[in-house]
Structure 1
Amino acid sequence: MAASMEQINRLLSSGKYKPLLAVIKGFRNGAIYGAKVRFPHALVMTFLFKNTSLIESMKVILEATFIHSRNLAYFVFAYKGLTTLFRFLEDQKSQYHSFIAAFCAGFVVFGKYNKVNEQINLYLLSRILYGLAKLAVKRGYIPKPKSDPFPLFAAVVWGIVLWLFEYERDTLQPSLKSSMTYLYDDSNIWHSLRDFLFYNKR
């Protein structure tokens, strides 16, 4: 057993088969990271907004954790596998490899609609819009602001989301709608000191 473990360690540290082993390690990291991110989020959101039994709540939490962990593992595996294949076929690394590999893996893994995939895709959308705006400034496509644009950005984001919540709330993503209902609607309702201070009662 010790001898075989030593052989494995020697192989891993030799650098041999590194591209293939990186794909496998990417799968492992995707699974671990997905579970670490989703479990606490699902735990908080389920116990905060769902009125179900403990067994049903745990089932929801574990199912969401499994889906996130599995999908992220599949995506990292597919993305790293495809970029490695492209680099092998063309004998060099190119920028379009990343886009094509992620496009294909994203279509297969995150293209199926479910609540977890919806949240992940929306999270990424907000990040890439912000990143593309910064890239446009960096490349000189739009002039660099003379003052900090973050306050205006925050004002526009919050103005739009509260308008949508008040007048077009069916267009909002369910977990966001639940959070905003708790913050803005449930705070309008109370019948006694108990449900004013300690819990919400409709």
Structure 2
Amino acid sequence: MAAPTETVNKLLASGKYHAALAVIKGLRNGAVYGAKVRAPHALVMTFLFKTGPLSDKIQTILEATYTHSRNLALFVFGYKGLTTIMAWLQAEKLQAHSFMAAFVTGYLVFGRYNKVNEQINLYLLSRILYGLAKLAVDKGYVTKPVKEPFPWFAATVWGVVLWLFEHHKNTLQPSLKSSMTYLYTDSNKFNNLRNFIIYNK
């Protein structure tokens, strides 16, 4: 009689139920990737900017990591599940399936407001705007720039973000506001060598 591991390995190698198993593997990969990305980020940001007892800091890190990991796992599971079902129902894979599946799953998983979801959605927004600009050039909707546009892109991004920080601070996301306060406001505060070089404020 074959060992359970051997039986499972044969099933996985056979290609049977591949679509359904790929959905489960997506759930696993979403959980792992979410934890890998969020844990170090939460660790650094918490110890840099959060005050209070160590137990509170650890709880903040664990909660952020769990939320990111769970939500990404659920999103991948939902997205892959819906695209698989739609492709099966229509007997082919269509571009519209990607948008519709992500739209529905994004609403259900990332539509609930919390700090982690806000950061993920903002991260994606910047990437898709950049991607859409490239797509517009690739498709010929926009003429390819003669000179490299990246310096102008960088100048605009930094010009707008510093203008918002200096004059409309309340419009910025809290973590960005904290980072910019440390860089641009706290660097104005010193009255001795210790808080000039060694300590902030």
Q: TM-score range with shorter-chain normalisation?
A: over 0.9
Paired residue for 2:171?
A: 171
Name the counterpart of 1:86.
Answer: 86
Alpha-carbon distance, 1:175 to partner: 0.3
Cα shift at 1:2: 6.6
The residue number in structure 2 matching 1:9 is: 9
1: distance between equivalents of 2:84 and 2:146?
42
Q: Which consecutive unaligned segments of at least 5 residues does structure 1 have?
A: none
The secondary structure found in structure 1 opposite 2:200 is: coil
Correspondence for 1:162: 162
Letter in 2 for 1:8: V
Cα offsets for 1:5-32 (capped at 9, x unmatched): 1101000100000000000000000000
Provide Cα deviations, 1:83-140, integer angstroms capped at 9, x if missing partner: 0000110000000000000000000000000000000000000000000000000001
**In structure 2, how many angstroms separate the alpha carbons of the residues matched to 1:138 and 1:199?**
50
**Alpha-carbon distance, 1:191 to partner:** 2.0
Matches of 1:81 and 1:126 in 2, distance apart? 26
Kindly report which structure 2 residues correspond to 1:97-136, keeping only aligned pairs within 5 A, or say none.
97-136=97-136
Aligned length: 201
Query: 1:36 corresponds to which letter in structure 2?
Result: K
Whole-angstrom CA distance in 1 between matches of 2:159 and 2:139:
29
Taking the aligned partners of 2:109 and 2:199, their CA distance within structure 1 comes to 40
TM-score by length of 1: 0.98
Q: What does residue 71 of structure 1 align with?
A: 71
Map of 1:49 onto structure 2: 49
SS of the counterpart of 1:113?
coil
User: Residue type of the partner of 1:193?
Assistant: L
CA distance in 1, matches of 2:44, 2:137: 38
Deviation track 1:36-73 (CA, whole Å, cap 9, x = no partner) reads 00000000000001112111000000000000000000
Give me the CA root mean square deviation.
Answer: 0.9
Q: What is the percent sequence identity of the aligned residues?
A: 69
